[in-house]
Amino acid sequence: MPTSADAVKPTSGSGRSKHVVLPPIPDAAGQAGSVASSTEPRTAVRSKLLRHSRGKQQQKRQVITSGFLFGAYTVPVLSFLLRALVPPLCFCSHHPLQMNYTFLKQCVERSPIMPIQQQWLDATLSRVPSPLRHGPGRQELLEELCREVSEEFLHVMVKHTVNSFLIKPQIKGTDPAVKSPPLAKTLDFSRPWHSSFVKSRKKIEENLHILHPVMKIILDICHVTFSQLLLVDLSGCRYLSMGPVDCENLKNKVAVECERSEKKLMNTWFLNVIHLITSKDTVQGIRAGKLEAFNTCASTLLSNQLKALLERNVQAFVSLFEPLDTHKLPLFRMHLTFDDEKMDFYPSVQEIEDVVLQILSLITNTMQKVQTVRSWQAEANKSLVDAKLAEHILTWARNTLTNSVRKNLEAPRRHFQYYFDNYDWLVNGTAQARVKKFLEEEHSFDQYAGQVEEFRAVSREISSLPSLIHFDMIYLDCEELKQGLAKKAKTFAQDLLQRLISTHREHCLQICKQFETIQDKAIKIPETTEDMVEMISYINHAKNKGLEELSSEISEMHNRLNYLLDVHLFDAEDLELNSRVLLCPQNITPIFDLNDEVTLTGQCCDKREQELQVRREKLMLELEKLSRRVEEFAECSELEMMQQYVTEIRTVQKRLQEAEESVVFINKEEALYKWDQTAYPEVEVLRENTEPYQKLFGLVLKWQRTERRWMDGSFLDLNGESMEVEVDEFYREIYKMLKLFQQKEKKMDQEKTAAVKRRSGEGSEDKQESPTALICSSIMEQIKDFKVQQIIIHFASFLFCTPCACQLLLSAVMYYFVLIYELLCVLNVLPAYG
């Protein structure tokens, strides 16, 4: 198929061969591919037909040659014999002329005729619109048309050859098969033609500026520049690094690309064209009166080329939205939002459609500021080249894009409709009214639990839906809508659950109140015999029927608690209340035992007094053991045994707690027997002495674990700022503990050496630092050493974790080197700091 360059080549043998006829600019991408695909099978068929036709023509040529030679020898003889045998009246004077014409006509018709050239057929097919050449049955129709055109061409050429070489005699019956129309009567206008031809050609050369050689050069420049140029190439944005894009980002990117392309064309292509048009050689070859027409012609050529460029770019952009080729579609990011209890798209469907049309508008509005040649020369007049696309092209593009966008948004709309159909009742007031009505009515625990589980199941169902869904043109993010709807369902479940927990709490308080009533009456000391009998009767009833009812209620409470622990996180107060209820059966037995003791007070008072004395002695022995164990804590200085120290001090505190409970019990017994209350100040002293060691050992153990986690854990999880705060907090606490133990040791030394100083009159000798102070000092030194490492860790984590670390690298390096320098100066100048 001929290209655009071949189509404008001049033909030889004509006086006007050097004048180039401008062909239409075909769609380089679409037309080349379609014509190439359609001409390949036709070329093979045509070659086969030509080979067959050439063989037949050679056979015909041999037959004609042999017939002509045979006729040259036989015609005179046959003519003589016919004249001798046939009467003379049978031969007219024009009969030989007729036979000669017929014979020569047959010879001319049998002569080989050059068939139509393949490139002529290709050039003819290239002018057929592409939609008419593609489709079912179109290929066979094109081949049939090509055969018909070839046959008609051969017939016309034979007829033309006969008419060119033979003069048809005006004899009746010369061509009985075809009756030719009467010859047209022509007037004789014989006159010299050459001067008229030259004059007309000169006039054409003066006025038909499109044939000027500069116009061909401009056309070639436009073809080279525009044939493969796309102002914005979005064909690969789906699979390149862009991925899903926001509407506004894509629109801004297209605007920047269009502006960049326009600027590039104005700085290269337009300047080259203007230079050609306004060059001295070009202007000198045009008359002064024709210069304005020449510039207008050039501006019109530029207008046509710019329109063709924009039309091709519009077609390329519209082709991205072809329904049968979805892999070229741009991928837009959309979100399903839940704002103010409303479900919606962001951006909206209309915004997506508007953005696509705005991108089309950006493409069509490109290259609209190209000045005409005259305006560029005048510099004052700002007239522009008309590069606006035809309205029917814009209408077609808008309709195609709108229909494609709406079709590709149908699937996201159906997905959104699924959420709306299934979960709109959560936000339109239906669920709220249902919960409110349920709370106003009386229902059992199982019914409440069923309603709670229903809403929890809806929440789990919503959470299990996919968060990201890929459609042909939309990358739909549903996470926000899922979280909003799931949270809404959980809120309704929580409202029902709060009512359930409130009812459960009231029931637990009621059980505890019954237990306290039994406890109060059981431990109350009767004043009279009647009070004693009444108390015994009440206690017997409580032991028989009261305990059964209480156990049944506790069992129901236990079943409710098992369910509530799975769906609710109780606070400390509720947990304590539930523990008290569950321990009621165990705690009520000692109450009954105490009641038995109260009822038997008159009989075994002496025995109880002896048991109380034994209990007091055991308590004193326990306090002495605890006192010795607390004194041993002062000698604990091994950092590797901090875990053991913490365990031991917790054991001591637990024993102290038991000792306090024993003190309370003994005081109650003493009050019952009206004895003097025994004070045990050792318990408070031991607690005061234990607390500093507990705090110190716990703090050291926490520091060791924190340092091990920082040094042995993941480096990327480190946060320099939080580490700095924690290190400073550790340092302050250790420093406080050091001061506390130093003051305590100093006070003890002053008390011990006061008598020695008074007797000897000399000061006390320097003593070594206590183990606890050594522990504090060691930890403080470790913290100081770690601070140096912490600065480096802070700097490294800043580099690895900060997104803009590359930009802040220089400032960060200078900042932290200054910090390191200041820290080293402080450590050198004040080595004993802290």
Average predicted confidence (pLDDT) for the chain: 75
How far is residue 503's CA from residue 446's CA, in Å, rounded to a whole number? 13
Omega before 347 within 30 of 0, i.e. cis:
yes
Q: Please give the full DSSP string across 486-534, using - where no structure is assigned.
A: HHHHHHHHHHHHHHHHHHHHHHHHHHHHHHHHHHHHHHPPPSSHHHHHH
How far is residue 20's CA from residue 73's CA, in Å, rounded to a whole number? 54
Inter-residue contact 554 to 483 (CB < 8 Å): no
Q: Could you tell me which of 773, 823, 767 has the C-alpha nearest to residue 795?
A: 823
Task: Please enumerate in sequence order all residues whose Cβ is within 8 A of that of 812, keeping only pairs 6 or more positions apart, or say none.
Answer: 795, 798, 799, 805
- Cα-flanking dihedrals φ and ψ of residue 95, to 5°? -65, -45
How far is residue 348's CA from residue 751's CA, in Å, rounded to a whole number? 83
Inter-residue contact 740 to 699 (CB < 8 Å): no
Inter-residue contact 507 to 365 (CB < 8 Å): no
How far is residue 339's CA from residue 482's CA, in Å, rounded to a whole number? 12
pLDDT for the residue numbered 18: 35
Q: Is 66 left (phi over 0), alpha (psi -120 to 50) or beta?
A: alpha
How far is residue 616's CA from residue 396's CA, in Å, rounded to a whole number? 105
pLDDT at 586 over 90: no
Question: Between these two residues, 289 and 296, which has the higher pLDDT value?
Answer: 296
% of the chain with per-residue pLDDT over 70? 71
Strands 342-346, 332-339: pairing kind: antiparallel
Inter-residue contact 39 to 126 (CB < 8 Å): no
Which pLDDT band, with edges at 50, 70 and 90, does 307 fall under?
very high
Residue with tokens 């009050």: 671
How far is residue 246's CA from residue 258's CA, in Å, rounded to a whole number? 18
pLDDT at 161 over 90: no
- Burial string for 158-171 (b: 16+ CB within 10 Å, else e) reads beeebeeeeeeeee
Judged by average pLDDT, the poorest of 92-106, 142-156, 351-365 is 92-106
Judged by average pLDDT, the poorest of 42-51, 85-94, 472-481, 732-741 is 85-94
How far is residue 397's CA from residue 310's CA, in Å, rounded to a whole number? 12
Question: Between these two residues, 800 and 638, which has the higher pLDDT value?
Answer: 638
501-505 mean pLDDT: 84
pLDDT for the residue numbered 259: 92
Question: Between these two residues, 709 and 118, which has the higher pLDDT value?
Answer: 118
228-257 mean pLDDT: 78
pLDDT at 399 over 90: yes
Residue 590 half-sphere exposure toward CB, CA atoms < 13 A = 4
Question: Between these two residues, 79 and 561, which has the higher pLDDT value?
Answer: 561
Judged by average pLDDT, the poorest of 265-279, 496-510, 529-543 is 529-543
> What is the C-alpha end-to-end distance of the chain, expressed in Å?
94
How far is residue 558's CA from residue 440's CA, in Å, rounded to a whole number? 26
pLDDT at 631 over 90: no
- Burial string for 526-555 (b: 16+ CB within 10 Å, else e) reads eeeeeebeebeebbeebeeebbeebeebbe
Q: Please give the full DSSP string across 322-334, using - where no structure is assigned.
A: -TT-GGGS--EEE
Q: List the chain domain ranges.
A: 4-9+19-175, 207-408, 420-466+486-599, 715-728+739-750+769-834
Which contiguous run of DSSP H or E holds residue 278? helix 269-278
Task: Classify 343 as helix, strand or coil.
Answer: strand
Which pLDDT band, with edges at 50, 70 and 90, does 517 fall under?
confident
The helix-helix angle for 605-632 and 681-712 (nearest 10°) equals: 40
Cβ contacts of 656-664, under 8 Å, gap ≥ 24: 656/626, 656/683, 656/686, 656/687, 656/690, 659/619, 659/622, 659/623, 659/626, 659/683, 662/615, 662/619, 662/622, 663/619
Which pLDDT band, with edges at 50, 70 and 90, does 30 fall under?
very low
pLDDT for the residue numbered 403: 92
Task: State pTM to two decimals.
Answer: 0.46
Judged by average pLDDT, the poorest of 323-327, 363-367, 390-394, 430-434 is 323-327
> Residue 244 carries which DSSP code?
S
CA quadruple 127, 131, 132, 138: dihedral sign? positive
pLDDT for the residue numbered 396: 93
Q: What is the pLDDT of residues 789-813, one digit of tens each?
A: 666 666 555 555 555 544 455 455 5
Judged by average pLDDT, the poorest of 28-32, 39-43, 421-425 is 28-32
Q: Please give the full DSSP string across 392-404, using - where no structure is assigned.
A: HHHHHHHHHHHHH
How far is residue 781's CA from residue 833's CA, in Å, rounded to a whole number? 10
Inter-residue contact 151 to 27 (CB < 8 Å): no
Which pLDDT band, with edges at 50, 70 and 90, does 370 fall under?
confident
Q: What is the pLDDT of residues 691-702, one digit of tens each?
A: 777 777 777 777
Which contiguous run of DSSP H or E holds residue 338? strand 332-339
Question: Between these two residues, 355 and 523, which has the higher pLDDT value?
Answer: 355
pLDDT at 231 over 70: yes
pLDDT for the residue numbered 21: 37
Q: What is the pLDDT of residues 601-630, one digit of tens each?
A: 544 456 667 777 888 888 888 888 887 887
Inter-residue contact 369 to 281 (CB < 8 Å): no
223-228 mean pLDDT: 88
Angle (CA) 39 40 44, round 5°: 110
Question: Between these two residues, 700 and 88, which has the higher pLDDT value?
Answer: 700
pLDDT at 262 over 60: yes
User: Counting Cβ atoms within 10 Å, is residue 139 exposed (0-12), middle (13-18) or buried (19+)?
Assistant: middle
Please report which residue ranges of 675-719 form alpha helices under DSSP H. 681-712
